[in-house]
Structure 1
Amino acid sequence: MWRLLMIVLFVPMFSWAKSTEMSWLDNRFRVDPTIKQVSFLVYREKASQAVTLVRPDGTKYYAWEHPENVAWYEENGMDIISIENPMPGPWQAIGKITPQNKIKILSNLTLNVDSLPKKLYQSESFKFTARLLQDGKPLVLRDFLNRIKLNVTFTPYLANEKDLVKEARPLAEVLGTFEDNGEDLDEVAADGVFTVNLPINIKPGKYWVRIQSRNGVFLRTVEQDVLVYPSPIRASFTQARNENQSHSMTIDTEAGAIKAGSLAAHIEQINPNKITTVTQAQSDSDDEKLYFDLPNSYMPGKNTWSGWVYATDMATDRPLQFFLGKHSYGVTEPIDLKAAYEARIKAEAEQRKIEEQKKLEIERAEARKWLWIYVGLGNLLIIVLIFSAIFGWKKVNTMRKLKAAAPKSEKLSMPPPPKV
């Protein structure tokens, strides 16, 4: 009986001290005065409304209405609420929460971010990591880590940016998103280490770099200023003139920027049949340039090439990698000059024949047009003559009838002259 009492009294206390996970007791939980930042994972019934969070003084926080020191992430069956400088004392969550659900309190979270090199190069890319810690130890709570989205943004640097109105401030550009999924450059999934392959695809200049939560799960922002310099690498691809030659690639560097002998290249060519050919090369120990040949499949159609150049920065001994982009070049069928000349002569003759035929048809059409005009005029003249003849004949015939119908006058004879 005494052992059972000891278990009942001390096991819950021990469990709370080790896991920071507690069952709901009237949906209440206490925040210690030493806590400067806290996150709550609230598990609720599926398809239920987000909980209402009540401060110790009775102030209510909602998913759609809360102060700036509160970040609220809501999804089906879960709320993640992060608060900076929370009020000490008993808090309460009001919502559809079952007895089986628990609350997980994450306190004193910090975001530890690698320091960016003070000197970056345009078009380079590198592995960049950030670590989420709780009380100085890696946070490995998968439900929380899977929902954190951290962006890396670059904003053109202005000394008085905060004094400008919002519309006049320079726009931030997102260059990458951290992942903790064990893919690409991330080594282990859900280990609290976030990784991004950061491409510096921006113009040279001075920038503010900010790492911050994209979806509001985590209230932390890390800032750093960096300088982006023009790329010290210049790559030139020269296409072969015929099938008996190889393509060539030249990698040139800015004087004094790249360590001699550190150049290496990885080039991939894809022909029209989607077959990939990989070529790798590296410079000699004293060379600051790299020249090498590339295979020439001489396959007609659209061909592409892309690749990476690896080098070491002269000043800082920092390893560098530059993506050369994706480029295309075309290959046409070999040309038989004699056959092409004969084909051109034949085509020109066919064209002249077609043009002459068209001209002849036009002339024939013009002749037919005038023939029909002449026929029409002749017919019209004949019709006019016929009608004129009929009209004249009728007129003569009428006059004859009138003359025949007139009464004949008696012929008067003159009396003989008198005899004297």
Structure 2
Amino acid sequence: MSLLGRSLRGAWQRLAGTLLLACILAPGVALAAADVRILIDVSGSMKENDPANLRVPAMRLMSELLPAGTVAGVWLFAEDATPLIAPAPVDEAWRQRARAELPKIHARGLFTDIERALAAATADWQGPPGERERHVLLLTDGVVDVSKVPQESAASRERILSAQLAQLTASGAHVHAVALSDKVDRELIEALTAGTGGWLERADDAARLQRIFLHMLEQTAPPVTVPLEGNRFDIDKSVSELTLLVFREGDVPVTLTPPGATTAWTADSAPAPVQWRHEAGYDLVTVAQPPPGNWQFTGTSDPDNRAVVVTNLALELARLPASLLASESARLDARMVSGGQHVTRLELLELVAAGYTLAAADGTSTPGQLALDGERAVFSGELGATADAVLAPGVYQVTVTADAGSFKRQAVTRMRIVADPVSVAYSVDPASQAAVEVAVTADASLTRPDTLEGYVSVTDAANLVRVLPLPVASEDGIARVSVAASSAGRHEVAVHAFVTTPGGALRVAPPAQVFELAWTPPVAEPEARAEPEPPPPSGVAWGRFAAYVGGGNAVLALGLGLAWFVFGRTRKPAEAAA
């Protein structure tokens, strides 16, 4: 692009930003539409797993960054569940109560009654959710322990996994969990999170709680943020409040310099309207009516640093699934929101550049662009597997940005890529180039290979579709299908497999593969008397097979299948039998 072209584009972007800012409806309208119930384990084992009581600064971080208007409540639980902060819309009065009550978090409880805690926190969630998404955040370091009688604890655990999980699902609740010990009941929290579409993180030690609570906030009631470029960020005139979160390492001091200033603020020298909280592991700086322009700060450059803003102009993400199989993909949708309303004026949205970054745990990142879908007035793209590549298993941070020249917005979420329990390999006959050999393998450490079944669909250049049943796996555990060419040219081959895992049934459909095949027309033979068709092979349950065909190419994890994969738990096939 020429220098003139870049200048014109920059001018148009600034114009778009000005127009969008001009269309803000009213100051102070809350964007968040979530109801968050937080359960904090205060059993005696926390003396060992959280000796410095870092649950308090972690909760302070979350309480200060919760968007205004979010309904939030906090309970402490051990042998009983005690409301610490009653559920109410977050405002300054709510935050004041949180600051006063959070130091009461302790570690003196005798038991760990998770069933009672979940029941107390969700007692008023009757029927499906309204406009607010429902979220439960459970922090625990142990197992269900309700009395000195083991049978009573076992019965409570069973009720959680049956009736209570069913009630949570029916109410539309998403249960998220923080596991603060390797002694935690993994099977239980995996079932709760995966069964409700929630997020699960393990804290290797309590020092990670602050970061994990930030992640949980972004999965439940995400605040509005502006992107950081190194240790700099831009504030526009629509922002009425700025809260800067900077994680510290060692003794590296944090300073903040507003636009045009020659002297940086510190915790001791910041002017009176500025609230500067120096907590264990992080600094939180709140500035009311921040002047627009470029701000900068000193301190450790950290991927969890955030510049949170109160503004009428936000970037909102559609909820992504918490977990995806490596062979799956998911649509990423982002939309601009002004004054709490979806911006639909395409002449404005067309001048906004939107993109995303997919960052793996090892620090590597992949950028991508989001295209404007004019019919839906959203910026959209695909995350996950493509025909050319799949993502490696692990946790990924998804950071979406919108840049309109005079303002920038950011939204952050996370998703987990889970290894496929079923792998598919293709090979073309090298001599004839007229057939594709398909080999489907179920991982014996993740599934029951003897339950593998399904079908292969083949679409040729004339769009004629054939369906070939997947046979019973051979002794080496591989189910093989030979796909012969039906005409010369393009053949699209797609596998649809169904297998049983310890967590339930799983249906897998990797992306279709395309092959160019040769074909020789068959020699005509004399007509023969029609014979009755043979019965179908015994390796396929045909009632279920018909359901597969009707189901198309959707990939569906049924029941709690994904929960088991999240932590890579291994169990004997006999233990997994339905």
Q: Provide TM-score, normalisation by structure 1.
A: 0.40
| Larger Rg belongs to | 1
Q: Provide TM-score, normalisation by structure 2.
A: 0.31
Q: Does 1 or 2 have the higher relative contact order (CA < 8 Å, sep 6+)? A: 2
